[in-house]
Amino acid sequence: MPGNLLVGLDRKTVQRYIGDATGAGLQRDAGEEALLDELMAKVCEHARPHRPDGHGESWAALRAKHDQLKDWLLEAELTSVKATELDHR
């Protein structure tokens, strides 16, 4: 299995993140100690500016329906398929 599949990332995605990291000042030969929180924040901000909290539109949509989904799935013990059907009515 190719190495990039082990972490579930596409080669182009990894290359973009590396480019963002070097653009933010990371030296390619620096050790792991160079991966500071500030650097990682800059890389994430640049790589995914539309998701400042790390979550996308789907997460926001589910978050808005959290209480209803919780009731359906935990209290009423509905399946996720049934909850999806009810949600789309």
Walk along the chain (89 residues) and give the pLDDT tens digit of each residue.
454 456 677 888 888 888 988 988 888 888 888 888 988 888 888 877 777 676 778 888 889 999 999 999 999 999 999 999 998 88
Q: At what angle do helices 11-23 and 37-47 cross, to 10 degrees?
A: 120
pTM recorded for the entire structure: 0.45
Taking the CA atoms of 47, 52, 53 and 55 in sequence, report the sign of the dihedral they define: negative
